[in-house]
Chain A
Amino acid sequence: MAKVKLSGIRKSFGQSEVIKGIDLEIPAGSFCAFVGPSGCGKSTLLRMIAGLEDITHGSLEIGGQEMIDVAPAKRGVAMVFQSYALYPHMTVAENVTFGLRMANHPKRDTEQRCLEAARMLKLEELLDRKPSQLSGGQRQRVAIGRAIVRNPDVFLFDEPLSNLDAALRVEMRAEITRLHAKLDATMLYVTHDQVEAMTMADMIVVLDKGMIEQVGSPLGLYHEPNTLFVARFIGSPRMNTFSVNLCDAGDGNVSCMLPGGSSIQLDGSSLRTGKATFGIRPEHLDVVADGHLQGKAVLCERLGSETMLHVDIGLADPITVKADGLTNVTEGDAVGLKLNPKACHLFGPDDRRVRSGSLQ
């Protein structure tokens, strides 16, 4: 268990800078997820922590020690790759113990650790098989086992579940969470799947274009996104956003002109007048006969437990509404939408939050 501290980390590939100054402190024992769209630099960041990529500028500390010039093997990290990276010509046991054997680790202890990891990951029966004889989930578990036997201070996961099918992914998610509790190690986890980040991590780092957009707990990011990017990135289906005009309504309130002509009064906005971006999550819109917004349902996706209504309110894109699973709205129906004022987010012209819709 060790804490990881990044300060002023930058990375350039030739002319183009992909990581543009990252300051981050990950407490020991936490499960930290890096999320962001493809190309945001999250994998590069992880590979820099692993030592597979040089750090162009800045400092990296693991467990209080500067690691910039330290070889990957000496950083006390173990990495699990997206492609599993199992050696195809070795059995599961040989794969798991390869690093230890190459380091001339005592034989007895190597076997011990291999068996322990196998027990933890339910791989005991498979130790003599070759990777080609394993299923995707089993391969992933071997890859994790290979990391466990090294007893690292920090685990690095690079999109480990993205090659698995949906059901297995849910299972492995729970398994990795359980491992984290049992091993008590710091885990850094890169994913583009926000569900993985939300369910597993206790700390999420949202990255975009090589910079940190926001760091926080899963629910913190969900309820109080600092920027429009985070608001749109976290939550599925994503938050509805459209631009509105604000005018001061006195008593600390602002009045937002909504599409369709009606307006809503909101408190606590730091921006009083002018253009802003209005954001509301699909679950905070209620279908009513006469609401703040009027529109026409253009698509109903019935998922059983809920129905996703795509409602055209005269904007370029329809907005999404999460309605009851048994709603009788059908495509083509006129619907009214009521907004919960406590759930309305406002973002200023610089896309930063001016009002939080945290339901408080």
Chain B
Amino acid sequence: MFPTPIERTQPRTRFAYKVFLPIALILWLLPLLGVALTSVKPAADLDSGNYFGAPSRIAIENYWLVFKNSNIGYYFWNSIKVTVPSVLVSIGLSLLAGFALATYSFRSNLIIFFMIVAGNYVPYQILAIPVRDLPININLYDTTLGLALTHIAFQTGFCTLFMRNFIKALPNALIESARVEGVSEWRIFCYIVVPLVRPAIAALSVLIFTFVWNEYFWATIMSQSVDVRPVTAGINELSGEWKARWELISAASILTAAPPVLMFFLMQKHFIAGLALGATKG
């Protein structure tokens, strides 16, 4: 059996396992634990210098106060307005593009595919200025649409790479057999390809949702107003408003991190099935 169960290894290995695993776990989770702990500390604790100790009482009201004392409710709504369309559109576009790249042989097929792959390796930070200038010129700067379009443009490439390879792994005979039966290409796409790549769609949705929701760079560059700013950038604003109120910032951070985690657990089954399916060619 591989890997060898830990109970059957040498005592030395077992000892090292028992010592290092908890250490690694604590190191890994420390920042998150710190934030979680701070988020339930009463303001008085932090004022009196109790930064790293246990809270004097569980101040769950921080999670209410953050909504009451800031615009975070708007920011959450802004994030949803940006993330959901970004996920839907980039997955929709990449399904179409992936289908074309995987099933049609046309002259520039590979060139286009390689350009999409290569595009994924361009560090997006170097594009900050032009990508900011373009929406300014076409009056989309500081709008939800502008931010969503930016995300769609940056995520579709990766999605297309993923989808193209996934669709390529479907047996070609399925598509050919439908063609001989006289099914139109659009219907082949809708009735055969899309149902069969559902695991990939689920997996990719979770990934892109997480990417876009957690995104900070474009969120700060492309938005300014309260009506547009997503929650990741919004928290940044909080630290300016309440320099000393770390407990509220922590509570906001925990709230912000929740949706992707929730999404992951909801879709976990599909997500893992999707990864396995892609690897073994079904």
Contact = CB atoms under 8 A, between A and B. Distances in A.
A102 B182 contact: yes
B196 A99 contact: no
A102 B191 CA distance: 9
A71 B180 CA distance: 8
A51 B179 CA distance: 9
A98 interface: yes
Interface stretch (B4-12, B67-75, B159-167, B169-177): B169-177
Given A85-B173, A88-B196, A79 B183 contact: no
Contact of B176 (A52, A77, A87): A52
A252 to B, nearest CB: 55
Contact of A72 (B174, B179, B187, B282): B179
B195 interface: yes
Interface in A71-91: 71-74, 77-79, 81-85, 87-89
B196 A89 contact: yes
B110 to A, nearest CB: 14
A150 interface: yes
Contact of B182 (A73, A81, A87): A73
Chain B contact residues, majority secondary structure: helix
A99 B183 contact: yes
Contact of B181 (A73, A83, A84, A89): A73
Contacts of A146: 177, 181
A99 B173 contact: no
B174 A51 contact: no
B178 interface: yes
B192 interface: yes
Contacts of A239: none
Given A52-B176, A81-B176, A87 B183 contact: no
B179 A85 contact: no
Contacts of A78: 180-181
A79 B174 CA distance: 12
A103 interface: yes
A133 B153 CA distance: 42
Interface residues of B, number: 18
Interface string A298-326: 00000000000000000000000000000
Chain A contact residues, majority secondary structure: loop
A256 to B, nearest CB: 50
Interface in A58-81: 71-74, 77-79, 81
A333 B196 CA distance: 62
Contacts of A73: 179-183
A346 interface: no
A72 B182 CA distance: 7
Contacts of A77: 180
A354 to B, nearest CB: 44
Interface residues of A, number: 24
A146 B179 CA distance: 13
A68 B177 CA distance: 19
B62 to A, nearest CB: 48
Nearest to B184: A102
Contacts of B183: 73, 98-99, 102-103
A50 interface: yes
Contacts of A102: 178, 181-184, 187, 191
Nearest to B173: A85
Contacts of B171: 83, 85
A72 B195 contact: no
Given A89-B196, A102-B187, A150 B173 contact: no
A51 B177 CA distance: 11
Given A81-B173, A102-B187, A87 B192 contact: yes
A74 B181 CA distance: 9
B187 A50 contact: no
A98 B181 contact: yes
Nearest to A88: B196
Given A81-B173, A85-B171, A88-B196, A50 B180 contact: yes
Given A87-B192, A88-B196, A89-B195, A99 B174 contact: no
Given A52-B176, A81-B173, A83-B173, A74 B182 contact: yes
Contacts of A83: 171, 173
B25 to A, nearest CB: 40
Interface of B: 171, 173-174, 176-184, 187, 191-192, 195-196, 282
8 contacts: A71-B182, A72-B182, A85-B173, A87-B178, A99-B181, A99-B183, A102-B178, A102-B187
Given A50-B180, A85-B173, 5 more contacts: A72-B180, A77-B180, A78-B180, A78-B181, A99-B183
What are the nearest 6 A-B pairs in CB distance? A73-B182, A99-B181, A85-B173, A85-B177, A102-B183, A81-B173
